[in-house]
Amino acid sequence: MKRIFLTVNMLVCAAMAAKAQYTTMGKIEYERKVNIYAQMKEMEEDQGTSQFMEQMKSRIPKFNSSYFDMVFDTSRSIYKPGREVEGSVFKMFGGGPATENTVLTDFTANKIKANKKVFEQKFFVEDTIRNIEWKVKDELRTIANFKCRKAVGRMCDSVYVVAFYTEDIVVSGGPEMFGGLPGMIMELAIPRLHTTWTADKVELIAPKETDFVIAEKGKKVTEKELYESLLESFKSWGKMAPRNIWWSVL
């Protein structure tokens, strides 16, 4: 009996080690959660519409969730909208920021292609993979049964980004256009957007070639050209302009 127990225990340990060593392809579902009340508070401060905002709060939940899927292997990943949520706050108002983003990342060629819709205008971004100077920290967290380590970085020069990545998935990817860590990003937080992306399910399945297809929709731009175009478009939006730009260049 003792020998059987030891054999089973060794098999379990071997399976766990294999997962840690060989998780090179699969599908991740991310829940994107936005703190609507925090966003509305900022709008109150910017526009002085506190009475209207208080009325709106009584009708909507504090958080809005939406889901995105990412299929990946060691050479490519594609991130796109996932299952729909009934009663979504963003859907009630005809959509929301970055709800239609699709991002194809080619790790081998160091290239990225992305469809982005900014209000009614569509952009097709083609560029090299974004380079973020991450600083790895000691904090650990378990996400979707994967051990993850914290890293911090910045986007748009000044916007603080927090990531938790796992080396058990040996792909340097993540949600939206984020990556560049020694493993897969399982949770991403952008405090100034009051938003988090968290992996809630990982399926170890082999992707099909047809999974890595992206339609070329909208005006073709580089990431820098998109940023400069948005600066011009939002220059009359006052304090709301930076947040709209940050959402649009995710």
Angle between helices 36-47 and 50-57 in degrees, nearest 10: 160
- The CA distances from residue 25 to 100, 154, 175, in Å, are 24, 28, 15
User: What is the predicted pLDDT for the residue at 217?
Assistant: 87
Would you give per-residue pLDDT tens digits along the chain (250 residues)?
444 434 434 433 444 444 445 689 999 999 999 998 887 777 766 665 566 556 666 667 788 899 999 999 999 999 999 998 776 655 544 457 899 999 999 999 999 999 999 988 999 999 999 999 999 999 999 999 999 999 999 999 899 999 999 999 999 999 999 999 999 999 999 999 999 999 999 999 999 999 999 999 899 999 999 999 998 888 888 778 888 899 999 9
The residues near 38 (Cβ < 8 Å, ≥ 6 apart) are 194
Question: What is the rounded CA–CA span in Å between residue 46 and residue 40?
Answer: 10
Question: What is the rounded CA–CA span in Å between residue 115 and residue 143?
Answer: 28
Residue 217 has which token pair?
A: 């929709």
pTM, full prediction: 0.85
Q: Strands, DSSP E only, in the chain?
A: 26-35, 63-72, 76-81, 102-106, 111-118, 121-128, 135-143, 146-155, 159-166, 184-190, 195-203, 219-221
User: What is the predicted pLDDT for the residue at 85?
Assistant: 77
Pairing of strands 219-221, 121-128: parallel
Question: What is the rounded CA–CA span in Å between residue 73 and residue 80?
Answer: 15
Pairing of strands 159-166, 146-155: antiparallel
Question: What is the rounded CA–CA span in Å between residue 2 and residue 5?
Answer: 5
Domain-wise residue ranges, the chain: 23-248
What are the residues facing 30 on neighbouring strands?
68, 199
Question: Among candidates 44, 98, 68, which has minimal Cα distance to 239?
Answer: 44
Query: Quick one: fold of 23-248?
Result: outer membrane lipoprotein receptor (LolB), chain A (2.50.20)
